[in-house]
A and B are shown apart, each in its own frame.
Chain A
Amino acid sequence: AQSVSQHNHHVILSEAASLELGCNYSYGGTVNLFWYVQYPGQHLQLLLKYFSGDPLVKGIKGFEAEFIKSKFSFNLRKPSVQWSDTAEYFCAVRYNNNDMRFGAGTRLTVKP
C-alpha cells in the first residue's frame, strides 16, 4: 500500500535555528509532492509543492523542500525559524490515481 512517513513526531527549536523535517514515501511511479501546514486552530494550508523540474522548490514564508528521487524523499527546510512557524507540518503525496496520502505530521514548537 502507498504510504508516507515523517520521521519526526515533535520538534522543538529556538528562534533562528535551522529546520529540517524528513519525509519519505513509498514508490508509486510518478508522484506530486506537497507540504501542508496547520497552524493552531486553523485548517490545512498548502506550504509548497513539487510537480516536476528543479527538485529544489521554494514555498511561502521562507520554506523550501528538496525532492530526491533516488531516496523517495521530500524534506522540508527553513534556514531560520520564527515563533510564528509553530504549527503542525504534513507531507503529502499524490499518486497516479489521484490518491492523496498524508504523513502522520510533525509538530513544530518554536521557543521565543
Chain B
Amino acid sequence: EAGVAQSPRYKIIEKRQSVAFWCNPISGHATLYWYQQILGQGPKLLIQFQNNGVVDDSQLPKDRFSAERLKGVDSTLKIQPAKLEDSAVYLCASPFAGINTGELFFGEGSRLTVL
C-alpha cells in the first residue's frame, strides 16, 4: 500500500558490530526520512534528505551513524559500531508521491536487536 520498501525486516547483532539498512521510498519523491523508534517511544527523526542532499541530521549520532542517498532514490542507514541502546525499529518514510504536505507513508521498518 505505502510503497516504501525496507530491508532487512529483522537484524540481530552483537554490540560493536556494524549493520546497514536499506530503503527505497515512493517512486519519484525527493524527500526521504529515517526515524528511530525505540520500544515505547515515538519515532525520532534521524535524518531528512531532499534528493541526495541532507536537510536535517541534527539528531543523528554522527560518531556511529551514517546515511547516504547517492542517486537521490534509495537510501542506506549504517550503524558502526552498534551499541545496546541502538536496539530499535528503524523506519523509512516518504511523503505521498508528488505532494509534499507532510503526510508520510512509512515502510514496515527494520527491527534491530543489539546483544
Contacts and interface: CB of A to CB of B under 8 A. Distances in A.
Interface string A98-109: 111111110000
B2 A43 contact: yes
Interface stretch (A11-19, A44-52, A60-68): A44-52
Closest 8 CB pairs of A and B: A94-B102, A102-B42, A32-B102, A44-B106, A104-B42, A102-B43, A105-B42, A43-B106
Contact of B100 (A6, A43, A45, A98): A98
Contact of A34 (B33, B45, B100, B103): B103
Interface in A29-65: 32, 34, 43-46, 49, 51
Interface residues of B, number: 25
B31 interface: yes
Interface of B: 2, 31, 33, 35, 40-45, 48, 50, 55-56, 91, 93, 100-104, 106-109
Contacts, number: 57
User: Which of A6, A44, A97, A102 is most buried by chain B, counting CB atoms within 10 A of its CB?
Assistant: A44
Given A32-B102, A44-B106, A97-B56, A104 B45 contact: no
Interface string A58-96: 000000000000000000000000000000001010100
